[in-house]
Structure 1
C-alpha cells in the first residue's frame, strides 16, 4: 500500500503542478466539476484500469521483464530493454486483435505500429517517456517499488482520461486544450514525475559509511 500510494502521490502532484501552470498560462480551460459523476468515474476507471492495464502490464514488464533483463544487462540495459518491449507491445496487440477478429469473423481496426486513431509520431514518443517514468517509479526507494509503478500507471491513465477525454468518457470534469499544448503538458508532467523519483533515489542512496557497515 505504501508503494502504491507513493506512485499515486508523486504522479498526481506532478500532474497538478504542470496542469496548474498550464491553466495559469491560459493553455487549459476546465469545465465545471460535477462531483458525483467525477467520483463515480474515478472509482470505475480505477477498477477497470487496475484489472486490465496497470497491474498486468506492470507485473509483466516492470516486474518480470525488468528483473530478468537486469540480471543480464544491468540497470541501464534493463531500463532501455523494458521500455523497448513496452514500445512494441501496442503494435503487436493490433496484430493479435486482427487475428482474433478474423477467427471470430468480426471487423477490427487495421494493423499498425500504433493503435488506430493515435498519432504515429507522438504516440511512440509518449510511450518512451511513459515507459522510462515507470522504470523510475519501479526503481524508487522504499517498500513496494513495483506497486509504485502500478500507482504511477493508474494515475497517468486517470489524469489523461479526465483532462483529454473527459467529454467522451463522461468523467464529470474535463478540459479544453489545444493539441500542441496537450502534448507539452502530458510529456511535461511525466518528466516531472520521473525527476522526482530519480531525486528520491539519489537522496536515499546509501553513504560510503553505510556500505562499509
Structure 2
C-alpha cells in the first residue's frame, strides 16, 4: 500500500514540478535573453521533457520490480503505430464537429485557407507540443499513474482516478504559481472550467489507451486535440494562422465549445463503443 502511494505521489509531483519549472525557464528566457515565440516554447518543451521523461522511466523500473515487467509495456515503441490512430481520430472528431456546428447554424464557415498559409506553423507547433505537453504528460499520467492505479484497483475506477490526478496536476501547477507570486490566487477559481475539461479529457485519453493497449494512442490523441484547438478551433486565441475562418452566429465561442466538446465527449463515446466491440469479440 505504502509503495504504490509513494510511486503515485512521485509521478504527480514530477509532472507538476516539471511544468512549473518549464514555465519559469520560459519566463527567464524572455525576461533575461528576450527569447520569445517559438524559441521560448522550445526551451519550455526541452525543460519539460528532460525533467519528466527520465524520472518517470526510473519510476517505471521501480514499479516493475514490484509487479514484474510486462512483455510489451504500453509505452513500448512496438506499439508506437497507435500514435497515428489517436491523432487521426482527434482530427476526424474535430472536423465532424466543425461541420455539425455549421449544419445546425451555430457557425458560418467563411473561408478555408490554403495549406501554405498555415502548414509550416502547424508542423513547428506539433513538434513543440509533442515534447512540451503530449509526450511527458501522457507518459506520467496515462502511462505511469494509470499503470499504478490499475495494479491496485479495477479498470473503471482507475480511469476515473487517473483523471482526478490529471486535474490535481493542473491545480498543483497553479498553486505553485500562486505561492511564488507568478499568478494571483484568483487563478484557482477562474480555472474551474479548465479543471472540468481536464477531467473529461483525461477520461477520453485513458479510454483510448485502454482500447488500443498503447500509451502512444493517448499521446497521438492529445497532440491531435492540441493541434486542432490551436489551428482549427481557436486560432485567434493562440495567435496561430487558421486552417479555416468561421464566425459564431448563435453565441460568442459557442462554436469553439461545441467542437471541444465534440472531440472529448465524442471520443469517450467512440472509445467506449470500441471497447465494447473488443470485449464482445474476445468473448466469442
TM-score, normalisation: structure 1: 0.82
Q: Which runs of 4+ in 1 moved over 4 A?
A: none
The size of the alignment, in residue pairs, is: 197
Query: Bigger shift: 163-172 or 146-155?
Result: 163-172
**Counterpart Cα distance in 1 of 2:191 and 2:167:** 12
Which residue of structure 2 aligns with residue 145 of structure 1? 214
8 Å contact from structure 1 (residues 7, 151) kept in 2:
yes
Any gaps of 5 or more consecutive residues in structure 2?
1-79
* Aligned partner (choices 198, 213, 223) of residue 127 of structure 1: 198
RMSD: 2.2
Asked if residue 6 in structure 1 is aligned to residue 85 in structure 2, the reply is: yes
TM-score, normalisation: structure 2: 0.63
Compute the displacement of 1:79 (Å): 0.7
**Counterpart Cα distance in 1 of 2:108 and 2:228:** 15
For 1:102-181, list aligned pairs within 5 A.
102=180, 108-111=182-185, 112-113=187-188, 119-141=190-212, 145-167=214-236, 168-173=238-243, 174-177=245-248, 178-181=252-255
- For residues 70-120 of structure 1, the C-alpha deviation after alignment (integer angstroms, 9 at most, x for no partner) is 111111121111000111211211233345xx4xxxx62224436xxxx54
Any gaps of 5 or more consecutive residues in structure 1?
none
**Counterpart Cα distance in 2 of 1:98 and 1:125:** 20
Q: Indicate the structure whose relative CO is greater, using CA pairs within 8 Å and at least 6 residues apart.
A: 1
CA pair 181-37 structure 1, distance change in 2 beyond 3 A: closer
**Counterpart Cα distance in 1 of 2:167 and 2:271:** 21
